[in-house]
Structure 1
Amino acid sequence: MSHTSARRRSGIVAAFALFAAMLGHAPAAMAEESQFGYVYTTDLLPQGAKEVEQWATWRHQKVAGYFDQLDGRTEFEYGLTDRLQVAFYANYTWARAYHNGPFAETTPPEPLSYDKPGPDDHYNATRFVGFSGEAIYRLWSPYNDPLGVAVYIEPTVGPAFRELEAKLILQKNFLDDRLVTAFNFTYAPEWRYDTVEGDPTRKAWGYETDVNLNIAASYRFAPNWSAGFEFLNEHEYNSYNFSKESNDGYFFGPVIHYGGKNFFVTATLLEQLPWASSHSDTVPGAIVGGRIYDNDFEKYRVRIKAGWYF
């Protein structure tokens, strides 16, 4: 076993051991909005409540050259019941790239992979990705039950993109709800309308599956303020059944959250850890310095979310 693999496995074991230890205690109190940029919790809007959220996610730095991607999401959420929250949102993206991909070829990010710039082109594009619907149903509450449990479903439809994302969401609170911990398991097959490999004159719907295991913890250190960390473990497969793995990436970083009476702001900064492994379908040259830089992975991510209740 390589030192990189050993460090990666040790880090995953430690992270999940921390989460398991947290699940061994139990207290209770009131719900509040999510405190994380990437990880979902079982806290939902009460029946009849409405919210508008704006997300901005900046992805930065690939193999070489320059790379920046800015993903936007504008979302409306509604509490259909105290247990069921629904949402509708629009997704859009901008990217610029130059000599950023494997072997220093200019490579668009995954949402724009149907664009085919030349290997030495300066790429710059803005696109509408698609509309999404979302439903989260809470089975157990972290305030009244031993563990908060919710299920999530999100279809997305766009001009050249389809996705059906499903999540299992777990939440456990401690210290009179000042400490919030959460775990998400995500299974998300997706389809892109793109040129067929080996035949650039023909297009077809290709597919892959994203599988993510993410954990987070946040502590309220002052009225309205909390801070903590998020850890993302992301995998991509060229199949529906966990075979033909192409990529695995690991991200870790701090999150800070402010929650006012009618609004909140959350910001997360993540750096990819040098734990990536080569798999059967990994693109040659996509792993550099232990990090995967295929078209859905980068070195840094920053996400800012702002929400308004009414």
Structure 2
Amino acid sequence: MNAKNLFSKNIVLLIFLGTSLLSSAQDRIFTYTYQSIVLNKGQRELEVWNTLRTGRDDFYARLDNRTEFEIGLGKSLQTAFYLNLTSKTKTVEDLGVKSISTENEISFSNEFKLKLMDPVANPFGLALYGEYGIGTNELELEGKLILDKKFNNLTVATNVVLETEFAPEYVNNKLNWVKENKLEYYLSFGYSLNPKLNLTLESAFKNVYVDKELEHSALFSGLGFSYINDNFWVNFTVMPQLLSLKGETNSLLNLNEYEKFQIRLLFSYAF
């Protein structure tokens, strides 16, 4: 092999490795919709999630914070550990007198994501995702089917999410575990303006089932952006509720289970 061919092959290898590391470090350009990319073995990432939910018939504000430590395990598998903090401030009424009440929750979660197909090397990206959550007032199990594809500057991703929650509740002085199922669909589009900046459109169709009966259903959609700078990235989305298909409480919206607006900010550092 002559020096020229060796040099050319080394350049191609460096470009491939650099692209692979960059795409693995930037795990996602969406805030609600997951992509199939996973971290390389030993690569670590710290993500901070902040979600504000507000807008009901009376005053209501909820802030969800998730601090996530993510690590690549190799063989297209990664895991992550979460510390989840939630604060809710809402209107309560007692004997016709309204007041403001605040409650706080804390929980732990652990996820695994397995990439089966790559969105660039294969016809489309495919991944499976599983997560369990443990809190003082509920237990959660969640599974996701993740598909995505990159077409030049356009990224398309879709998720199907099934979540089951178990919460303790007393009925006639007897402790029962109430089960609630959530079935959600996500479809998102991202357009790359340059290597650092993406504009995004995310949509979510959320459904809640109790005793196999549909209790709540609503459609959300909103705009956002993603900014990447070396090992740091930040994603932001405003997701208003557009329409309720079950459980309307105010005009065409469901303001019992959901809110008028969800606003999410994610930022991350890979190391």
Check whether the contact 1:45–1:82 (CA below 8 A) recurs between aligned residues: no
Aligned to 2:60: 67
Matched, 1:189 2:164: yes
The equivalent residue for 2:234 is 265
Does 1:126 pair with 2:87?
A: no
> What residue number does 2:10 align with?
none
Report the Cα offset of residue 48 of structure 1: 1.0
- The one of 191, 205, 214 aligned to 2:186: 214
- Quick one: structure 1 residues 237 and 277, their matched pair in 2 at CA, closer, same or farther if it must change by over 3 Å? same
Q: Which residue in the other structure is 2:86 paired with?
A: 93
What amino acid does structure 2 have at the position aligned with 1:193? P
Name the SS of the counterpart of 2:78 in structure 1: strand
Q: Which residue of 1 aligns with 2:13?
A: none
| TM-score, with structure 1 as normaliser | 0.76
* Partners of 1:37 and 1:266 within 8 A in 2: yes
Aligned amino acid, residue 194 of structure 1: E
Distance 1:186 1:160 in 2: 22
> Aligned-pair distance for 1:46?
1.1
Q: Does 1:77 align with 2:70?
A: yes
Instruction: State the 1:127 CA deviation.
Output: 2.0
- 1:174 corresponds in structure 2 to 151
C-alpha distance in 1, partners of 2:266/2:81? 16
Amino acid at match of 1:270: M
**Within 2, Cα distance between the matches of 1:119 and 1:194?**
26
Residue 210 of structure 1: how far off its partner (Å): 0.4
1:301 aligns with 2:262: yes
Q: Partner letter of residue 238 of structure 1? A: V
Q: Which residue of 2 aligns with 1:6?
A: none
8 Å CA contact 1:44, 1:79 repeated in 2? yes
1:48 and 2:42 correspond: yes
Shift of the 171–119 alpha-carbon distance from structure 1 to 2, 3 Å rule, reads farther
In angstroms, what is the RMSD of aligned CA positions?
1.9
Query: 1:82, CA displacement in angstroms?
Result: 4.7
Q: Secondary structure at the match of 1:120?
A: strand
Q: Tell me how many residue pairs correspond in the alignment.
A: 249
CA distance in 2, matches of 1:309, 1:119: 50
1:74 touches 1:90 (CA, 8 Å); kept in 2?
Answer: yes
Q: Summarize the alignment of residues 111-260 of structure 1 with structure 2, pairs less than 5 Å apart.
A: 120-128=98-106, 130-175=107-152, 178-196=153-171, 199=172, 201-239=173-211, 243-260=212-229
What is the rounded CA distance, in whole Å, between the counterparts of 2:245 and 2:217 in structure 1? 7
Structure 2, unaligned stretches of length 5 or more? 1-18
Whole-angstrom distance in 1 between the partners of 2:96 and 2:182: 27
Q: Say whether 1:277 aligns with 2:249.
A: no
Between the aligned partners of 2:241 and 2:230, the Cα distance in structure 1 is: 34
Contact 1:154 1:164 in 2 (8 A): yes
TM score, norm. by length of structure 2: 0.87
Q: State the Cα distance separating 1:277 from its structure 2 match.
A: 2.5
Larger radius of gyration: 2
Q: Normalized per residue, which structure has more strand?
A: 2
**Amino-acid identity (%):** 29
Q: Provide the rounded CA distance (Å) in 2 between the counterparts of 1:203 and 1:270.
A: 37
For structure 1, the 5+ residue unaligned runs are 1-28, 100-104, 107-116
Question: How far does residue 195 in structure 1 lie from its aligned partner after superposition?
Answer: 3.7
Distance 2:54 2:184 in 1: 20
